[in-house]
Structure 1
């Protein structure tokens, strides 16, 4: 699972290829909970789909799926936007007002605005408007609505009405599969021995591992060498 986060620019839209990197699609999400991909695909493409609330610890794939929803929506001809709420904290009403007119909205990281009453009121108002106008919304957070520090009871109540999906941390085998998938998408071959070396001797955080893979890709191209254990020892 890729964990890239969109930039903080809330202004002009970027081209689809830049907004939604190809690594972050439904088909590249490893070990999804049962039913989550169909639910998110419906949210992206169907006007009457259930709204979804994705909950999970850091690095469980929430941003990956939020970006995948937006990519799927635009590929089906719908207007979509991804908003990292940390980038809009303290000015959420203005940010949401600026993004009206979309068919699908992915609001990533509710934790960032939880406890700030002005932002929570803005989100509550947005939620009601979006319901009334037929916009589909995806929320993500590190916990369920009652556990992330929201101070507005009415907002908690609205969020609890969404279809809730819990994402679990990846197992070691899932991490291995993510790295193998990312390597293949870059045209790299990672032997099992090299994968074992990476998973046992480097930061086990998946985001750090994927970033490390980018570094190894560049080093491999520069040295014109395959990624083997001796090469890993030399580079790292």
Structure 2
């Protein structure tokens, strides 16, 4: 849902402080997922998970889902992917990073009323904030009553999060739980190789090994590098080889 621009009315007076910008004007409620982050591009998903998410996106899966896993395990990828799948099926879907709405979560969730699917990322970021926990609990109940599908993601399972609101813990625990693990090096190679192919070029094994050894294993950072390499390769009209990587990334790689 795109936020509406504020009505014109002149600048606030010197004695009347300007109202803070609405949280809905700052959050990607209807963020268009990047093309790399689709259900079909997810590597090494636990058995049956993609089918569950696809069914939820199309409205044929009754159970809500809770994705639990550490950083770099692919939670955000799957949330953005299920939103993309829902929109392709003609349904209204919105993704919300809860950390960006912490302290004003009720306003953000109210702005998402009327969607067919909500993907709520980073539940751990609002735990311990009483008002936000109550807002999430209320939104959960409204979604259940209206038939809106919910997909949660957090670094920990509900029991480990231990929200201060017992009823919220109960609601989160009722969701079907999916546990994700970070990719190993083979999985990282497959992700990078596939995303390079989507950009129209091949990332060979020697170049992949060099990137993992010299640049690091953080998948988000490695994926971001692909755009830089794509532009540099096009500009130089060269293949992405180890010598080319040394030339382009020498300043960031030891």
Question: Is residue 2:66 matched to residue 1:57?
Answer: no
1:103 is matched with which residue?
116
From 196, 199, 217, the equivalent of 1:186 is 199
Q: Give the direction of change, closer, same or farther, for the CA distance of 1:47–1:134 in structure 2 (3 Å limit).
A: farther
CA 1:219 to 1:9, structure 2 compared with 1: closer, same or farther past 3 Å? Answer: farther
Q: Which moved more, 1:161-170 or 1:192-201?
A: 192-201
Task: Provide the aligned length of Structure 1 versus Structure 2.
Answer: 228
Higher Rg of the two aligned structures:
2
Q: Following the alignment from structure 1 to structure 2, what is the Cα–Cα distance between the partners of residues 119 and 205?
A: 31
- Following superposition, the deviation at residue 43 of structure 1 comes to 1.0
Q: Contact conserved, 1:47 with 1:134, CA < 8 A, in 2?
A: no
The 1:125–1:9 alpha-carbon spacing in structure 2 relative to 1, beyond 3 Å, is: closer
CA shift digits 1:177-233 (9 cap, x unpaired)? 000001001112111111111111112110011011221112112212111011111
Could you say which residue in structure 1 is the equivalent of 2:24?
10
Runs (5+) with no aligned partner, structure 1: 1-7
Match of 2:98 among 82, 85, 88: 85
Q: Does 1:128 align with 2:141?
A: yes
User: Is 1:210 matched up with 2:223?
Assistant: yes
Query: Using the alignment, how far apart are the partners of 1:47 and 1:191 within structure 2?
Result: 40
Q: Distance in 2 between matches of 1:37 and 1:49?
A: 15
Alpha-carbon separation, structure 2, partners of 1:10 and 1:69? 21
Structure 1 partner of 2:87 = 74
Structure-1 separation of matches of 2:237 and 2:162? 51
Higher relative contact order (CA 8 A, sep 6+): 1
SS at match of 1:165: strand
Matched, 1:28 2:41: yes
Cα separation, 1, equivalents of 2:127 and 2:111: 21
Are positions 1:94 and 2:107 aligned together? yes
Residue 234 of structure 1 and its aligned partner are, at CA, apart by: 1.3
The aligned counterpart of 2:171 is 158
Separation of aligned partners in 1, 2:57 and 2:107 = 24
Q: Alignment RMSD, CA only? A: 2.0
Counterpart selection for 1:43 from 34, 42, 56 = 56
Following the alignment from structure 1 to structure 2, what is the Cα–Cα distance between the partners of residues 45 and 149? 31
Q: TM-score, normalised by structure 1?
A: 0.91
Structure 2 unmatched runs, 5+? 1-21, 250-254
State the TM-score, normalizing by the size of structure 2.
0.85
CA deviation profile, 1:63-108 (whole Å, cap 9, x unmatched):
1110111111111111111111111110000111111000110001
Match of 1:200 in 2: 213
Q: Distance in 1 between matches of 2:69 and 2:27?
A: 28
